[in-house]
Amino acid sequence: MAALKKPVHIPNLGRAAVRFDGEGDLPDECAICDSRKLWTTGHACGTRETAALVMLKAPANIVGPSYDHLQSNQDDIGNWVAEQTDVLSGKAVADLLHTHIKQAADLVKALTTKDSKTASTVETAWRKNGEDIAQGLGDIGKNYGFGWKAVELRPMMSKHLDLVAEQVTLFLKGDYQGSLDSFDRGVDHLTKLSDYLVKGTGMTCTCSKS
């Protein structure tokens, strides 16, 4: 398997001070910042927006674009994984994340309509998918010699699901500030998850934002 290229640190270039040996191009932002955008701006914020629209019973022509945009973020995350590993690994992660989003949307719909039986069934499947995501990333990490360990990723994914579920529950109870506070905790948590994945590959950040 191809070894991950080690980052070369270039002095006096501020936030764009990382390039990869043999590539010759400087990224607009460092690897950590790029990954954080995918998991926070893309995944966390996209989930919040889509879930809120569903809970507010917005029409399909309003919910649909937000949901589709959120699903495209899962392809972006898969592409990021592929860039560190290979196309098949990236696709496998994206497929699991697409299921993660679909099941989350189904769960929010069931909770909004107070269909407790469906909500229970979907949540069980959603949490199993979370374990599959952790295991899948852990397997990729093992194959590539990364510091991605399923035993560490499993509680991270479980906490992510807990925080999403908490946001939805509080929102539906009318505790909008509490839901927003939970969202903020969720963003912080996904930032840590994102950093774990980046640092697990051996990449580092030299820009001023992380």
Distance CA 47, CA 10 (A): 36
Q: Which has the closest alpha carbon to 152: 135, 172, 170, 127?
A: 135
Per-residue pLDDT tens digits for 98-146: 999 999 999 999 999 999 999 999 999 999 999 999 999 999 999 999 9
pLDDT category of residue 207 using cuts at 50, 70 and 90: low
Distances (CA, A) of 134 to 7, 114, 171: 26, 30, 27
Cα 130 from Cα 139, distance rounded (Å): 14
Give SS3 for 157. helix
Residue 22 clears pLDDT 80, i.e. is over it: no
pLDDT recorded at residue 23: 38
Length in residues, the chain: 210
Q: What is the mean pLDDT of residues 171-185?
A: 98
pLDDT value for 111: 98
- Quote the crossing angle between the two packed helices 87-112 and 116-144, to the nearest 10°: 160
Q: For 68-108, what is each residue's pLDDT tens digit?
A: 999 999 999 999 999 999 999 999 999 999 999 999 999 99
Q: Give percent above pLDDT 70 in the chain.
A: 83
pLDDT in tens, 179-199: 999 999 999 999 999 999 999
- pLDDT per residue over 25-76, tens digit each? 434 457 788 899 999 999 999 999 999 999 999 999 999 999 999 999 999 9
How many Å is the Cα radius of gyration of the chain?
A: 18
* 11 pLDDT above the threshold of 80: no
Please name every residue paired with 9 in a beta bridge, in sequence order, or none if there are none: 18
The mean predicted confidence, pLDDT, of the chain is: 87
